[in-house]
């Protein structure tokens, strides 16, 4: 797991440690020291702790004018034991929402498992972004299936056309435009 790094090529466009509105503003990274781990497996120091022992994130890009944020995840999403959604919502999402972010792109290629509980925090997040949306890109099929067992899919758009394998070849605004277009099409079909 220590070899899995958050996508780093967008750092020239956005660095959450230098963004005064970011919940990770001022964080100093020591890339020579591996201290964070998931189930005893060290992870790359570039991942950010958001309150969960099993799920880490990286705020890859935020555009406050357009109102969107792109967040990459690694680990096990465990609402049953660690209440990961509560930690994510309270420690990261709420500060972004306060700064007019209402569209969220979650990248889940490195989410290795999901353990659900209730859907209250997902519903709260969904209600908080009334004019926006939450999109899950590249989550594994079994995670999406588990989401549906806990009604999470009522609040987070996922699967199908949101499997975008080439997202790393795109600049953040183009990636956002592609996802926004896909979400708009889904909303129009309802």
- Statement: residue 190 has pLDDT above 90: no
Question: Edge-to-edge strands of the sheet including 55-63?
Answer: 48-49, 55-63, 68-78, 103-115, 133-137, 157-158
Tell me the per-residue pLDDT of 99-139, one tens digit each, with 9 for 90 and over: 999 999 999 999 999 999 989 999 999 999 999 999 999 99
Map out the domains of the chain with their CATH numbers: 49-189 (3.30.750.24)
For the stretch 135-152, pLDDT in tens is 999 999 999 999 999 999
CB contact at 8 A, 56 and 49: yes
Helix (H, G, I), strand (E, B) or coil at 56: strand
Kindly give the pairing relationship between strand 41-42 and strand 68-78: unpaired
* Contact residues for 110 (Cβ-Cβ < 8 A; gap 6+): 4, 72, 73, 74, 75
Query: What percent of the chain shows pLDDT beyond 90?
Result: 92
Burial of 124 (0-12, 13-18, 19+ CB in 10 A): middle
SS3 of 37, please? strand
Bridging pattern class, strands 37-38 and 133-137 = unpaired
Considering the entire predicted model, what is its pTM? Answer: 0.96
Evaluate if residue 28 carries a pLDDT over 80: yes
Mean pLDDT score across all residues of the chain? 95
Per-residue pLDDT for 187 more than 80? no
């Amino acid at each position: 797991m220590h070899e899995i790094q958050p996508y780093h090529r967008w750092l020239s466009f956005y660095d959450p440690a230098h963004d005064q509105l970011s919940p990770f503003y001022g964080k100093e990274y020591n890339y020579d020291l591996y201290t964070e781990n998931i189930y005893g497996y060290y992870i790359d120091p570039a991942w950010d702790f958001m309150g969960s022992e099993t799920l880490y994130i990286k705020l890859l890009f935020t555009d406050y004018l357009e109102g969107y944020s792109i967040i990459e995840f690694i680990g096990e999403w465990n609402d049953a034991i660690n209440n990961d959604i509560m930690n994510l919502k309270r420690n990261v999402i709420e500060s972004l929402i306060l700064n007019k972010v209402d569209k969220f792109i979650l990248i889940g290629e490195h989410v290795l498992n999901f353990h659900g509980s209730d859907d209250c925090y997902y519903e709260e997040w969904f209600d908080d972004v009334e004019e926006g949306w939450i999109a899950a890109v590249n989550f594994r099929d079994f995670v999406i299936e588990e989401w549906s067992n806990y009604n999470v899919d009522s609040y987070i758009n996922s699967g199908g056309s949101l499997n975008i394998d080439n997202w790393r070849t795109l600049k953040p605004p183009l990636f956002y435009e592609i996802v926004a277009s896909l979400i708009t099409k889904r909303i129009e079909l309802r």
